[in-house]
């Protein structure tokens, strides 16, 4: 009899845990929007760029692409980010998805952006010698 009561309680707990999990899942887009709006409100970018970011993030909220949602619209998100380097994860900005100048060199081996930047720097140096 006592055993039965225990399993009953465990079942109830399981159900509650599942419910909490479902609710968390359900609330995720709303929490993401809240963070996005706060991040956007704090930003000092051109309002048109901010609107573009809002559109970009809401598209990714719809797609449930939480990694990108957090990267751009999260609490410490980068509103102008539109992608990430697959190697070093630095934010990529602009239509042509380039890292910002100051984020380089990332010093991650195999990062194509860093290699390109170093080649560029090498060229500049050899030019200035002439």
Using DSSP bridges, classify how beta strands 81-84 and 98-99 pair: parallel, antiparallel or unpaired. Answer: unpaired
Distance CA 40, CA 75 (A): 10
Give Cβ neighbours of residue 45 (< 8 Å, ≥ 6 apart).
53, 79, 80
Span of 8-16, 22-30, 67-75, 100-108 interacting with Zn ion by CB under 5 A: 100-108
Which of 87, 93, 100, 105: binder of Zn ion (CB under 5 A)?
87
Q: Which is nearer to Zn ion, 59 or 108 (CB)?
A: 108
Residue span binding Zn ion (CB under 5 A) among the ranges 7-15, 23-31, 72-80, 103-111: 103-111
CB of 112 to Zn ion, least distance (A): 7
Binding test (CB under 5 A) with Zn ion, winner from 54, 88, 92, 104: 88
Beta partners for residue 93, in sequence order: 81, 98
CB-CB contact of 71 with 81 (8 Å): yes
What is the size of the binding site for Zn ion (CB under 5 A)? 6
Q: What is the rounded CA–CA span in Å between residue 31 and residue 74?
A: 10
How is residue 97 annotated by DSSP?
Answer: T
74 DSSP 8-state letter: S
By rule CB under 5 A, what string of x and - marks binding of each residue 35-74 to Zn ion? ----------------------------------------
Give the binding range for Zn ion (CB under 5 A) out of 1-9, 54-62, 99-107, 121-129: 99-107
What does the binding site for Zn ion look like in residue numbers (CB under 5 A)? 85, 87-88, 106, 111, 113
């Amino acid at each position: 009899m006592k055993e039965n009561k225990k399993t009953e309680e465990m079942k109830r707990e399981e159900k509650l845990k599942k419910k909490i999990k479902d609710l968390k899942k359900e609330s995720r887009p709303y929490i993401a929007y809240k963070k996005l709006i706060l991040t956007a409100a704090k930003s000092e970018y051109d309002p048109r760029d901010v609107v573009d970011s809002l559109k970009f993030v809401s598209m990714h909220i719809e797609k449930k692409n939480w990694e990108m949602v957090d990267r751009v619209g999260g609490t410490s998100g980068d509103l102008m980010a539109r992608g990430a380097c697959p190697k070093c994860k630095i934010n990529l900005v602009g239509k042509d998805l380039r890292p910002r100048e100051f984020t380089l060199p990332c010093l991650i081996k195999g990062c194509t952006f860093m290699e390109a930047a170093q080649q560029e720097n090498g060229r500049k140096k050899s030019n200035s010698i002439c």
